[in-house]
């Protein structure tokens, strides 16, 4: 049941243009000029709201004080923000330890100097559009969630305010290319990402990390990459769906639904950011020769043999190998 206090409506409703307030039986005297917000809040039972009267059809607009909002804020402060911090810092530390212990995964046979096309221009354009938009979304999202602890002390209020405003714009507009790219990525690579028995073997053998010189066979994408692919497709869809609800709250019934969407958005995004940190590590410093696949589109055949032996066999059968000159120029292999 909703409590209505004369004074609350008079004081707060005057600013918001509420019509005549209603008085209910309350332990505090609503006409006392000394009535305080805390007294009004103390008088509320769990789930109750202090509301005014409005003449527009949106009931939510009548709410003046909704103590349950504090549960949502408390959850964000105590859980969501911490989950995000642990996901990001924990993953970075784990990758650092992994790098220190294992070092860079080398092309064991050295570079052959002959390359094979791994991704065409279209695939690379989609990948980098998705990557750049995701990174901008991640950074602006992190700023909204925890920027007040880690950025504000550095920048001060004015610069932090401007940065956060620009970040919010970036977050709203770059969500669109990101969502489009997730859909295209799904359509473009789903046929290479259907799980099969080879993936179990790849996982059992730790992707070749457990025994040096022994690499489990893989087709175009190995089990680790399939996890990233499905993480991006499923995680990206969920983060997009919850983000759209936050952007267009009119589709939701109540403020509580919006709060649930916000919590889901923050938690799923945290998981995705941790996964993508691992992906960026593997695609850059972690594995020699991997980045070529997404820059030039060509990979060395010895890299392909080590990481994707079955895919290489299929491609060789099509005669798809090139020779690279010392200046990087490409000529067909004899
Ligand atoms: C600086 C950032 C990034 C770098 C350096 C990078 C690098 C790479 C590389 C080298 C590959 C090809 C691996 C191969 O040849 O098998 C790849 C594939 C892929 N990337 Fe990225 N990437 C980045 C960011 C992202 C982001 C932000 C996303 C999605 C949100 C993403 C999603 C994917 C997916 C789904 C694949 C295919 C599966 C896989 O190889 O794991 N990448 N990336």
With respect to residue 296, please indicate whether it lies within any of the assigned structural domains: yes
The pLDDT value given to residue 12 = 43
On the question of pLDDT at 25 being above 70, the answer is no
- Within this chain, do residues 31 and 90 fall inside the same structural domain, yes or no? no
Q: What is the DSSP pairing of strand 330-332 with strand 50-51?
A: unpaired
Q: Is 285 a member of any domain? A: yes
Q: Which of 129, 134, 113, 133 is nearest to 292 (CA)?
A: 113
Q: Is residue 1 part of a domain?
A: no
Q: How far is the CA of 110 from the centre of ligand 1 (A)?
A: 23
How many angstroms does the Cα of residue 325 sit away from the middle of ligand 1? 27
205 & 129 share domain: yes
State yes or no: pLDDT of 41 exceeds 60: yes
What atom of ligand 1 comes closest to residue 226's alpha carbon? 38
Residues 172 and 97 in one domain: yes
127 CA to centre of ligand 1 in angstroms: 7
Same domain as 43, residue 190:
no
Task: Return the structure tokens found at 29.
Answer: 């005297």
pLDDT at 300: 96
In a shared domain, residues 37 and 76: no
Residue 180 pLDDT > 80, yes or no? yes
Last residue of a domain, one of 66, 91, 118: 66
Residue 49 lies in a domain: yes
CA–CA dist 160, 144 (Å, integer): 10
Question: Which residue's alpha carbon is nearest to atom 29 within ligand 1?
Answer: 131
**CB contact at 8 A, 245 and 251:** yes
Residue-level pLDDT at 29: 67
Under the banding of pLDDT at 50, 70 and 90, the label for residue 71 is confident
Closest listed residue to residue 198, CA positions, set 318, 311, 293: 311
Res. 19 pLDDT band, cuts 50 70 90: very low
Residue 14 has pLDDT above 60, yes or no: no
315 Cβ contact partners less than 8 Å away, ≥ 6 residues apart: 116, 117, 304, 321
pLDDT given at position 32: 63
Q: Which residues pair with 298 in a beta bridge?
A: 117
Buried b (16+ CB within 10 A) or exposed e, 123-161: bbebbebbbebbebbbebbbbebbbeeebbeeeeeeebe
The verdict on residue 157 lying in a domain is yes
Residue 299 lies in a domain: yes
Q: How far apart are the CA of 281 and the centre of ligand 1, in A?
A: 10
Residue 152 tokens, joined: 């504000």
Are 43 and 139 contained in the same domain? no
- Return the number of other C-beta atoms located less than 10 Å from residue 10's C-beta: 15
Same domain, residue pair 42 and 152: no
Query: 62 and 93 in one domain?
Result: no
Q: Note whether 99 and 147 are same-domain residues.
A: yes
323 has a pLDDT exceeding 90: no
At 168, which CATH number? 1.20.950.20
Query: Looking at residue 330, what is its pLDDT?
Result: 54
142 shares its domain with 156:
yes
Tell me the CA–centroid distance for residue 137 and ligand 1, in Å.
16
Do 48 and 141 share a structural domain? no
User: Do 62 and 73 belong together in one domain?
Assistant: no
**Residue-wise pLDDT tens digits, 244-277:** 999 999 899 888 899 999 999 999 999 999 999 9
Strand partners, 323: 114, 331
Instruction: Ligand 1 pocket test: pick from 294, 303, 311, 315 the residue with the most ligand atoms within 8 Å of its Cβ.
Output: 294
Range of the domain at 40: 6-66
Residue ID of nearest Cα to ligand 1 atom 22: 280
Please check whether residue 271 lies inside any domain of the structure: yes
Instruction: Tell the residue nearest (CA) to atom 40 of ligand 1.
Output: 225
Ligand 1: which of 279, 290, 305 to mutate, most ligand atoms within 8 Å of CB? 279
Ligand 1 neighbours, Cβ below 6 Å, are: 118, 127, 130-131, 134-135, 185, 221, 225, 228-229, 232, 276, 279-280, 283-284, 290-291, 293-294
What domain count does the chain have?
2
Q: Could you tell me if residue 248 is inside a domain?
A: yes
For atom 34 of ligand 1, the residue with the nearest CA is: 229
> How far away, in angstroms, is 279 Cα from ligand 1 center?
6
């Amino acid at each position: 049941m909703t409590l209505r206090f004369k004074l609350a409506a008079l004081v707060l409703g005057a600013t918001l243009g509420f019509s005549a307030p209603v008085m209910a039986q309350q332990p505090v005297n609503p006409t006392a000029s000394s009535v305080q917000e805390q007294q009004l809040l103390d008088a509320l039972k769990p789930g109750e709201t202090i509301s005014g009267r409005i003449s527009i059809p949106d009931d939510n607009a009548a709410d003046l004080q909704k103590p349950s909002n504090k549960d949502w804020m408390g959850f964000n402060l105590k859980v969501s923000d911490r989950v995000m911090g642990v996901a990001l810092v924990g993953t970075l530390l784990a990758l650092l330890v992994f790098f220190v212990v294992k070092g860079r995964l080398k092309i064991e046979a050295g570079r052959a100097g002959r390359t094979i096309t791994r991704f065409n221009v279209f695939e690379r354009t989609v990948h980098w559009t998705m990557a750049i938009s995701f990174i901008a979304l991640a950074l602006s999202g992190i700023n909204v969630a925890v920027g007040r602890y880690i950025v504000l002390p550095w920048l001060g209020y004015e610069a932090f305010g401007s940065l956060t405003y620009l970040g919010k714009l970036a977050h709203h507009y770059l969500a669109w290319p990101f969502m489009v790219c997730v859909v295209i990525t799904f359509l473009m690579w789903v046929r290479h990402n259907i799980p099969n028995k080879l993936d179990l073997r790849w996982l059992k053998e730790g992707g070749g990390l457990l025994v040096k010189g022994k690499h489990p066979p893989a087709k175009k994408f190995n089990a680790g990459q399939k996890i990233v692919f499905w993480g991006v497709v499923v995680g990206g869809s969920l983060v997009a769906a919850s983000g759209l609800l936050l952007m267009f709250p009119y589709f939701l019934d109540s403020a509580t639904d919006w709060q649930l969407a916000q919590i889901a958005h923050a938690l799923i995004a945290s998981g995705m950011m941790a996964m993508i940190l691992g992906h960026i590590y593997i695609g850059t410093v972690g594995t020699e020769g991997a980045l070529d696949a997404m820059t030039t589109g060509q990979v060395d055949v010895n890299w392909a043999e080590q990481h994707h032996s079955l895919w290489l066999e299929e491609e060789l059968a099509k005669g798809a190998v090139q020779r690279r000159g010392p200046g990087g120029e490409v000529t067909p292999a004899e």
